[in-house]
Amino acid sequence: MPNCTINDVVCEFEDGQSILAVATANGIEIPYYCWHPGLSVVANCRICLAEVAAPNPRNDGKVETIPKLLPTCQTMAAEGQIVTTQSEKAVANQHSIMELLLINHPVDCPVCDQAGECGLQDYAYQYGNSASRFEEEKIKQPKKDVGPHVLLYSDRCIMCTRCVRFTEEVTGTHELLISGRGATESIDVFPGKPLDNPLSGNVVDLCPVGALLDKDFLFAQRVWYLKSTPSIDGLTASGDNILIEHNMDKVYRLKPRTNMDINRWWMTDEVRYGWHFVNDETRQLMPSLRNSEPFEQDAPDEAWDVAEAAALDGLQDAGHIAALISPMLSCEDAWHLGQLARAIDPRAVLAVGPVPVDGQDQTMLDGFVIRAEKAPNARGVRRVLESLGGTVLDAAGFHAALREDASIAGVLITGNYPSEWVTPDLIDAISGGRFTVLIDTLPNALKADAFLPGATWMEKAGTFENVEGRLQSFHSAVSPARWCKSEAQIATDLLARLRGETPHTFCDAATRQAMAEHGIVEMTRDVQHPPATDVQADSDMHLIVL
């Protein structure tokens, strides 16, 4: 492989890689604003300029320094190149660019949502001058409401044009443009054409400063308090890699996590903003029994004990039962629920719950696909249930089986959808005095004999199989809401009760091992795991005692 030297480090590179890409791949910091690996190169911010020396073929290959600084984002790496961003000339350029970018910037970091993760703030410390020489009046630019999710604080913009290129090159929707000229130019939308494409929130991630802000996160939390837990999209079949950002057991926002095989750098708005049901005030937090007084909130253990006993007794008394396992659940949830159903009734009918589909898959200009299937694990749930033997029905088959077989006297239903999912058809199919146990998260139209509150995917660990058959595990980001439990834990507890064993805490890794030993070898062989730990931004602020 050819190699070059960047800031005294010898780096191998592939043909066609820019100096900046090579530096980034080798952990060498070169400051940049306008460059992004998923967008075209425009080289307009000029902070990445470096002094470059290279062999001159017209002078017997003698290494000569190129007189002008070169943009490392736009200059291809070449054999024998010697690049430095630490020379006097390169550092003087960095100082000048930072001074220029800050001339009209309001420097309102204390009230800016981006503080703590702002490229301008970070580079001002690392590459800027400590004082500004600018004494004239700053040009003030307005705040603009550019779309349903995004606000533009124009006077913080550094005109890197990443956001404009995103709508041109990734979504192809062209909502954003550069309006005006010179010092008064600004980002804008066309009149009556808001930034409302299905990936619009990505411009907030792309903006290196606090110019484009997320309405959903505005003034909600200082970013240095947030922990990031690597996770997987739990709302659609995409398997997109995400970060769940939370503080003190409360989720504040979702961000994309780069996976070049799946979602690259992006995520959809439907996932980015579709998770709020997790914190919904109507969330079902306590078990309940039909025709019984609500349980006392100060005795949740007793409530669970009574409700689980009633649920298990009712299903056992029914004799022949059917279980509808939601595609919103993890493979581990499905495994334990399937085991429970078959332990109660070896002939238990197993079915995958309704799989919501909205239109057709939509492929964006750069190949990112928005999946029509709005459930994260239909394939994984089916794979697990099929391993337990017998035919696994779909939701329509489940309804038909209940209508045709009056001997099915008990049903175990699971939901965990982000909105109402129970259909009149399901209610009709269950009717006829069947004992009904429902495990769900939000209220719905189904009247169960025993209700047990489940946990959303953010509140538990597990594995999803996406639409392409990729198995990916995820960690729990926050604890289950109040007294809720994961479906796997509920099933584990009910099984222990059924067998007269001491209940134990559900473990996703042990469950995958058990599934693999049962024959689903993919559960230990093919599952891709996220990084092991939460990430918390280190504060780079230092306390100075005066």
Which residues pair with residue 228 across a beta bridge?
245, 535
Structure tokens at 93: 């350029």
Query: How many CB atoms are closer than 10 A to CB 192?
Result: 5
DSSP-derived 3-state class of residue 63: strand
Query: Applying CB under 6 A, does 417 fall inside the site for ligand FES?
Result: no
Under rule CB under 6 A, how many of the chain's residues touch ligand SF4? 14
Q: Which is nearer to ligand FES, 66 or 401 (CB)?
A: 66
Please, what is the minimum distance in Å from the beta carbon of residue 106 to ligand SF4?
13
Please, what is the minimum distance in Å from the beta carbon of residue 187 to ligand SF4?
5
Among 22, 23, 70, 73, binds ligand FES (CB under 6 A): 73
Q: What is the footprint of ligand SF4 within residues 112-171 (CB under 6 A)?
A: 157-163
Q: Where are the beta strands (DSSP E) in 185-319?
A: 186-189, 212-214, 227-232, 241-247, 250-256, 288-289
Q: What amino acid occupies position 32?
A: Y
Query: Applying CB under 6 A, does 13 fall inside the site for ligand FES?
Result: no
Contacts of residue 454, defined as CB under 8 A and 6 or more positions apart, other chains included, come to: 414, 415, 416, 439, 440, 441, 484, 485, 486, 487, 490
| Full 3-state SS string of 131-143 | CCCCCCCCCCCCE
506 binds, among ligand SF4, ligand FES, none (CB under 5 to 8 A by kind): none
Q: Which is nearer to ligand SF4, 207 or 322 (CB)?
A: 207
Among 11, 22, 35, 154, binds ligand FES (CB under 6 A): 35
Specify whether the CB–CB gap between 49 and 56 falls below 8 A: no
Considering only CA atoms, give the Rg of the chain. 28
Structure tokens at 33: 């604003």
Among 19, 38, 71, 162, binds ligand FES (CB under 6 A): 71
162 binds, among ligand FES, ligand SF4, none (CB under 5 to 8 A by kind): ligand SF4
- Residue 312's H or E segment, with its range, is helix 300-318
Q: Which is nearer to ligand FES, 30 or 370 (CB)?
A: 30
Geometric angle at alpha carbon 332, from 330 and 474, rounded to 5°: 60
The whole-angstrom separation of Cα 165 and Cα 176 is 8
Q: Which is nearer to ligand FES, 32 or 295 (CB)?
A: 32
Query: Using CB atoms within 10 A of its CB, is residue 218 exposed (0-12), middle (13-18) or buried (19+)?
Result: exposed
Please, what is the minimum distance in Å from the beta carbon of residue 160 to ligand FES?
7
Query: Applying CB under 6 A, does 207 fall inside the site for ligand SF4?
Result: yes
Q: Which is nearer to ligand SF4, 210 or 356 (CB)?
A: 210
The window from 21-29, 43-51, 57-65, 451-459 that contacts ligand FES (CB under 6 A) reads: 43-51
- Residue 261's H or E segment, with its range, is none
Phi then psi for residue 313, to 5 deg, are -60, -45
Query: Applying CB under 6 A, does 211 fall inside the site for ligand FES?
Result: no
Query: Applying CB under 6 A, does 34 fall inside the site for ligand FES?
Result: yes
Q: Which is nearer to ligand SF4, 209 or 289 (CB)?
A: 209
Contact mark string toward ligand FES, 122..161, x via CB under 6 A: ----------------------------------------
The whole-angstrom separation of Cα 257 and Cα 241 is 5
Please, what is the minimum distance in Å from the beta carbon of residue 82 to ligand FES?
19
DSSP-derived 3-state class of residue 330: coil
Among 187, 226, 495, 520, binds ligand SF4 (CB under 6 A): 187
Q: Which is nearer to ligand FES, 94 or 202 (CB)?
A: 94
Distances (CA, A) of 177 to 169, 197, 235, 362: 13, 15, 32, 24
Query: Applying CB under 6 A, does 199 fall inside the site for ligand SF4?
Result: no
Query: Applying CB under 6 A, does 43 fall inside the site for ligand FES?
Result: yes
Please, what is the minimum distance in Å from the beta carbon of residue 24 to ligand FES?
11
Query: Applying CB under 6 A, does 98 fall inside the site for ligand SF4?
Result: no
464 binds, among ligand FES, ligand SF4, none (CB under 5 to 8 A by kind): none
Q: What distance separates the 2 farthest-apart alpha carbons in the chain?
A: 94
Which residues pair with residue 63 across a beta bridge?
55
The whole-angstrom separation of Cα 103 and Cα 138 is 7
The window from 107-115, 202-210, 370-378, 442-450 that contacts ligand SF4 (CB under 6 A) reads: 202-210
Please, what is the minimum distance in Å from the beta carbon of residue 122 to ligand SF4?
14
The whole-angstrom separation of Cα 208 and Cα 203 is 10
Structure tokens at 403: 């209508």
Query: Applying CB under 6 A, does 33 fall inside the site for ligand FES?
Result: yes
Among 4, 6, 209, 471, binds ligand SF4 (CB under 6 A): 209
Q: Which is nearer to ligand SF4, 118 or 488 (CB)?
A: 118
Structure tokens at 94: 């960095």
DSSP-derived 3-state class of residue 117: coil
Phi then psi for residue 306, to 5 deg, are -65, -45
DSSP-derived 3-state class of residue 53: strand
Q: Which is nearer to ligand SF4, 212 or 303 (CB)?
A: 212
311 binds, among ligand FES, ligand SF4, none (CB under 5 to 8 A by kind): none
Please, what is the minimum distance in Å from the beta carbon of residue 251 to ligand SF4?
25
DSSP state of 115: T
Structure tokens at 169: 């090159």
The window from 39-47, 218-226, 459-467, 532-540 that contacts ligand FES (CB under 6 A) reads: 39-47
> Which residues here bind ligand FES, judged by CB under 6 A?
32-35, 43-48, 71, 73
Q: Which residues bind ligand SF4 (CB under 6 A)?
A: 157-163, 187, 206-209, 211-212
